[in-house]
Amino acid sequence: MSPIDFVSLDTDSFDYGAVADVAPKVRRIIARNPSKFTYHGTGTYIVGRGDVAVIDPGPVLDSHRDALAAALRGERVRAILVTHCHSDHSPLAAWLRAETGASTFAFGPHRRPDAPEWDIGTDPDGFGIDPDEETEEMPDGDGAPRVEESTDTDFVPDVAVVTGDVAVRGDGWSMTALHTPGHTSNHTCFVLADGSARTLFTGDHVMGWSTTVVSPPDGDMAAYFESLRVVAGRADDVAIPTHGAPIPDPSGYVHQLIAHRVERERQIVEAVRGGLTTIPAIVTDLYAAVRIELHKPAARSVLSHLVKLVDEGVVAITGDEPRPRLDSVYVAP
């Protein structure tokens, strides 16, 4: 696989619930919700002083709510920015909105109301379960993909934003939306411009510690590729994901992510042509070095690649199924 220079966050470099400066005008509080899905936990960011914006308030967790309330004491929350609606990002926005009166800003709810229903099927019994071990350890050096545990379907923003919309202005700074669908259809990054640097808050679109899972039906690999290329073509000074440490040279790093995805797609096509006709067989082969409990999220990214490949006519599905599924049989036409 194409190498990726992953950026780790040392556990000795932060304390849960503590407020830390991570960039000029940017403070971070990390929620105590670590897991194989969230790395060390959700990072909620406070931009500005006095008049502030809050990015990804995080999960409904009493300790995180209390830490955020303490950090915001004496501040005026002007805007609550939500990158997307997974349960480790948006749920606490409802509390923060009620407490401060600030409006929430996002591209939209988790899925468009007119999005077609699509049953992606199921994994076979026992797939992705290690009978000898149950662990919540972090992904190893392979940077295995990840998947969120649940979705905040109740979140609907007060203000819907699209690329180029200025969500909020502060004293010498502004936050502008950049719609980056792929991980989810509503995923949005936010750009902080303060006259001296440009910081891109990337949510889960670009993470330093791991690749991002793209899980149908809301996740879309073709859209994800395009969104990665948009970010790679920018000239941001630093990228700050919701999980993990800031990423220097975002453009160079995202080019590595694109190369990694291109190589993974090539491997999937070769696997199908070589007779591996099911997703469990493909995952077991391609992710042999990745712990078994991460094979389920890997399967969803493989499915997303296969959806793209089927749409492009590179791979086909057998039977009468209208769309690719986790349990479909795949062939090279």
Which position has the token pair 């049989």? 329
Pair 304, 147: CB distance under 8 Å: no
CATH at 70: 3.60.15.10
The pLDDT of 303-320, averaged and rounded, is 96
For the record, the structure tokens of 322 come out as 């209208």
What is the chain's alpha carbon radius of gyration, rounded to the nearest angstrom?
20
Percentage above 70 pLDDT, the chain: 93
CA distance 47 to 140: 32
Residue 241, domain member (yes or no): yes
Whether 184 is covered by a domain: the verdict is: yes
In a domain, 281, yes or no: no
The answer to whether position 324 is within a domain reads: no
The parent domain of residue 240 ranges over 11-262
Q: Provide the phi-psi class of 255: left if phi over 0, else alpha when psi is between -120 and 50, else beta.
A: alpha
Span 53-96, pLDDT tens digits: 999 999 999 999 999 999 999 999 999 999 999 999 999 999 99
**Residue 129 located in a structural domain:** yes
Mark out the alpha helices in 82-215 (DSSP H runs). Answer: 93-100
In a domain, 296, yes or no: no
Of 16-25, 129-138, 195-204, 263-272, which gets the smallest average pLDDT? Answer: 129-138
Closest alpha carbon to 44 in 63, 64, 62, 61 = 64
pLDDT digits (tens, 9 = 90+) for 188-209: 999 999 988 999 999 999 999 9
The identity of residue 20, as a single letter, is: A
Asked if 168 and 78 touch (Cβ cutoff 8 Å), the reply is yes
- Write down the pLDDT at residue 114: 62
Query: Which is more confidently placed, 293 or 113?
Result: 293
Domain total for the chain?
A: 1
Classify residue 20: in a domain, yes or no: yes
Question: Residue 57 falls within a domain, yes or no?
Answer: yes
Nearby residues of 315 by Cβ (< 8 Å), 6 or more positions away:
268, 269, 272, 306, 309, 330, 331, 332, 333
